A and B are shown apart, each in its own frame.
Chain A
């Protein structure tokens, strides 16, 4: 299966700790997106990359959040000094930048619980 994969699937951490999530996009996709989804809400856009360049960041992405895609393949999302309000599902999606560039395919998500 060559879909989007995310690791870990679940993460429980204590408030104040740092966490890092990984996303591996569909192999031929050069765009990668991060979203956050809280319970009962739709996903909210955080940031996206085209190849290794981070092209857009949402205002939701506070200074405690950082995302990287160093070689234009997998991406990591780090949250520093976690807060209880960071508890959410973090979703990754990928797409191509040519042809049907608007179609995004999502991974299974990483569920973060901050205690």
Chain B
């Protein structure tokens, strides 16, 4: 049973555009929501994360928006660059399970020049 649902499966954005990836969860015990970036043949790299006590977090070109009542969160990549082309995974976890991560299925992002 997929505990975190992610969409879209793939995304093509022009250079300079905004990339938006959405995730939804059901388990209200989740209290940590990270996004990971993964390049082919590499392990996932922590990109940005949010706790449910805030509705938005921004780090450089990357922003997480969090809607606790809707149990949804999203990643926005501003001024997307070809180097951002990768697979992005949202995840969720909670302290009850030692913060073991529950991942979405991933979004393959292609930023065209």
Nearest chain A CB to B42's CB is how many angstroms away?
A: 6
B19 surroundings in chain A (CB, below 8 A): none
Q: Does A103 have its Cβ within 8 Å of any Cβ on chain B?
A: yes
B41 surroundings in chain A (CB, below 8 A): 111
Q: How many A-B residue pairs have CB under 8 A?
A: 65
The answer for the CA separation of A6 and B52 in the assembled complex, in Å, is 32
Number of residues from A at the complex interface, CB < 8 A: 28
A residues 43-67 in Cβ contact with B at 8 Å: 43-45, 48, 50, 55-56, 58
Q: A42-B106, A106-B44 given as contacts; is B97 within 8 A of A56 (CB)?
A: yes
Q: Interface on B for A, CB 8 Å cutoff?
A: 6, 31-32, 34, 36, 41-46, 49, 89, 91, 93, 95, 97-106
Q: Name 12 extra pairs, CB < 8 A, besides A42-B89, A104-B101, A105-B46.
A: A40-B105, A41-B105, A42-B6, A43-B101, A43-B103, A45-B101, A48-B100, A56-B100, A102-B49, A102-B95, A103-B49, A104-B34
